[in-house]
Structure 1
Amino acid sequence: MPSLRLARQSLAVCLVACLVLPAAAQTSGSQASAPLPAVIVAPATMEEVGASARFNGRAVAVQKVDLRARVSGFLVEQGFKEGAAVEQGQTLFWIDDGEYAAALAQADASVAAAEASLTLANLEFERQNELLNRKTGTQQNVDRTKAEADKAKAEVDRLKAQRDVAALNLSYTIITAPFAGQIGLANADVGALVGPDTGPLATIVQSNPIYVEFPVPERVLLETEAAVKAAGAGPVAISLTLSDGSVFPNEGRLNFADVEVSESTDTILARAVFDNPDGVLRDGSLVSVTIKGNIGGAELTVPQQAVQRDVTGAYVLTVGDDGTVERKPVTVSRTVQGLAVITEGLTEGEMVITEGVNKARPGAKVDAAPAEAN
């Protein structure tokens, strides 16, 4: 009987072992076949990115003038087509000049009469002075005629000034273009009564060349100028992106930076000038301004999203040939158009993780796919 009992116990142990060992083997196999974390990587590459930054700006006409009537009267003619180009000195508006021509003629007549009186007063003064020299006249008569001659001379001067005013008012009846440019809508029709209180009759602008004004943080302007100076490069180049996303064909150059820094925004108002022969840029157009120093030479860059930061500073996660993740501290000098410029910590060709950083751990292996495949 003890032998039978022992045989039964051995059979039970064998059955348990047969059940447990396959389950354990299945668990071990499951763990061995677990997939590695998937990440996207991109290489550190050398790029000529220069020193650049982007801002919002607005086009401003080099010259802009509101044409106004300086005298009152009825418009009798308009000498331009709305929206067309006009030349300097071109007559744009005529105001009825009848009243002003008559006033000038009256002023001319008054001057002529006053000059005749002056001639008579001078002759009388000379006659009295001659009589005094012959001892037949008196000093009193000489003084009196001298005063009358001076008075006549003053009257001539006064009337000539009035004539000048009349001539000036007559000239104001013709409104001409102060410079070559493009004219906008006419705000008054022929036959309308206009005057100094009417408001602008039209606006003329010169838009070739044209200015673009934009606020630049003081730090960015100083860094860009320092980088350009250190590289011995030329002036800072400016490019524009229009509101429809297209790039303006002509590059511009900075020609002005304000002497004051805005205390509220810590920015400096900068201005660039652009050739605009086709009139693509209009006064007031909103544009995107990119300033770039003409600095030669390639710099090491990685996609901006690859750079992570914590309390110790900036770092990237790299993936070796065997798929092992490594953390590398880096120094980032600046970001340009989605790229981070790396000055220390990486070498060209190293693969950095751009997507899936939260799934990667230093020392662990990952399944890395290049960004192009993504």
Structure 2
Amino acid sequence: MLSKGILPISLITAALWFAACKQKQQAPQGPPPATPVTLYEVKAFQSTYADDYPGILVPLNQTELRSQVTGYVTGIYFKDGDKVKKGQRLYSIDAQLYDANYQNAIANMQVQETNLVKAQKDADRYNELDRQDAIAKQQVDYANAALEAAKKQVEAAKANVRSVQANVRFANITAPFDGTIGISQVRVGTSVVAGQTVMNTVSTDNPMAVDITIDQKDLYRFSLLSQNKNLVKDSVITISFGGLKYDHPGTISVMDRAVDPQTGTLKVRLSFPNAKSLLKAGMNTIVHIQNPAGHDEMVIPYKAVVEQLGEFFVYVAGDSSKAFQRKIKLGKQLDSTIIVKSGLSAGDKIVVQGVQNVREGAVINPAPQK
């Protein structure tokens, strides 16, 4: 059995322990330790960089070859992939039927011309007799009417000759312009239908065009580039394929007439020389348009930027060694750095390392800048 003196001693000990804990909890806490960071002093300098746009190569001129007459292919007068000249004969269609129709039209025209000669003589003779009052007026009217009918028939016969002659001419398909012809879709003996059968495609390839789509905010800049040759010299336009750069710079060929109201974009066509035929229609490329250094810009390390709900901030070192958030507007990213359009000034010191540990108004402990 415990002695009566032990219980009071235990109670006293417990009371002292609780009092010590309470005193410890009520002890005032010191300020949080300063967050170690590395600062970067913002500087302004002129930067040159290229804006990149995905593009696709297209010929400046391209057309599908279709026969305007129905028949069988009787001749092919080129090799697939040849360079062709305007007016060069490419295909021939069986023209026997059209030749026969043409000869028939010629014969009919000659008959109508003979009838016209006879009608003219009759009209002349009857009009002479009419002046001598030696013939009935009605016969003179008949002769003049027959003459006019004969003239109309000759005109109709000539029109028919021109129509049939066109079919004979259409039986020979020629190149519409200088360019490169593709792989033939028909062979000798193939039946083609007028206006339907695609026989081949001819396109130009020097120069070659590249189509890109730009945002409407870039429209003013491209308009200046298309009108001012001096700006084009400073803003070099180049293309690359998988990191390989094409040697020859391009120019702005044409800009679409209006901005697409649904997408807010505009189509722009560029032109590139292609004397060695290295560029082929349908190729995908990246267009680089050099942005000339026109004024000083603020460039900071990209790792200093904090994104919150689609907006961008940096922590700026303020008075009393505290860091405060500042909203910025970003421009072009240049590798590990980025251009700041607004929000910072030269001489501002921003946090570049330890950003994830900094909070608004937090005390910071800057390390020596490397």
Point out where structure 1 has 5 or more consecutive residues left out of the alignment. 1-35, 319-323
> Which residue does 1:20 correspond to in 2?
none
Give 2:214's match in structure 1, choosing from 209, 213, 216: 216
> Which residue does 1:48 correspond to in 2?
47
> Which residue does 2:200 correspond to in 1?
202
Mapped partners of 1:227, 1:198: distance in 2: 44
Mapped partners of 1:316, 1:220: distance in 2: 31
Aligned partner of residue 251 in structure 1, secondary structure: coil
Mapped partners of 2:218, 2:166: distance in 1: 52
Aligned partner of residue 126 in structure 1, secondary structure: helix
Mapped partners of 1:109, 1:239: distance in 2: 63
TM value normalised by structure 2: 0.75
Point out where structure 2 has 5 or more consecutive residues left out of the alignment. 1-34
Q: CA deviation at 1:241?
A: 2.4
Partner amino acid, structure 1, of 2:134: T
1:234 aligns with 2:235: no
Contact 1:304 1:335 in 2 (8 A): no
Alignment of 1:160-179 (within 5 A): 160-179=158-177
1:314 aligns with 2:304: no
Q: CA deviation at 1:353?
A: 6.1
Alignment of 1:1-374 (within 5 A): 46-49=45-48, 52-196=50-194, 198-222=196-220, 224=221, 234-235=231-232, 237-242=236-241, 244-296=242-294, 299-308=297-306, 314-315=313-314, 332=329, 334-338=331-335, 339-342=337-340, 345=344, 347=346, 357-359=355-357, 363-366=364-367
Partner amino acid, structure 2, of 1:48: S
Which piece of structure 1 moves more, 278-287 or 58-67? 278-287
Mapped partners of 1:187, 1:292: distance in 2: 42
Partner amino acid, structure 1, of 2:313: A
> Which residue does 1:7 correspond to in 2?
none
Q: CA deviation at 1:357?
A: 3.1
RMSD over aligned CA atoms reads 3.5
Mapped partners of 2:259, 2:164: distance in 1: 49
Instruction: Note the alpha carbon deviations across 1:228-264, whole angstroms, 9 max, x for none.
Output: 79x995245432222x232222222223333322232
Contact 1:233 1:293 in 2 (8 A): no
Q: CA deviation at 1:351?
A: 8.8
Q: CA deviation at 1:280?
A: 2.6
Mapped partners of 2:224, 2:151: distance in 1: 71
Quickly say closer, same or farther: Cα 1:209–1:228, change in 2 above 3 A. Answer: closer
Instruction: Note the alpha carbon deviations across 1:215-237, whole angstroms, 9 max, x for none.
Output: 21112334x359979x9952454
Q: CA deviation at 1:188?
A: 0.5
Instruction: Note the alpha carbon deviations across 1:5-29, whole angstroms, 9 max, x for none.
Output: xxxxxxxxxxxxxxxxxxxxxxxxx
Aligned partner of residue 115 in structure 1, secondary structure: helix
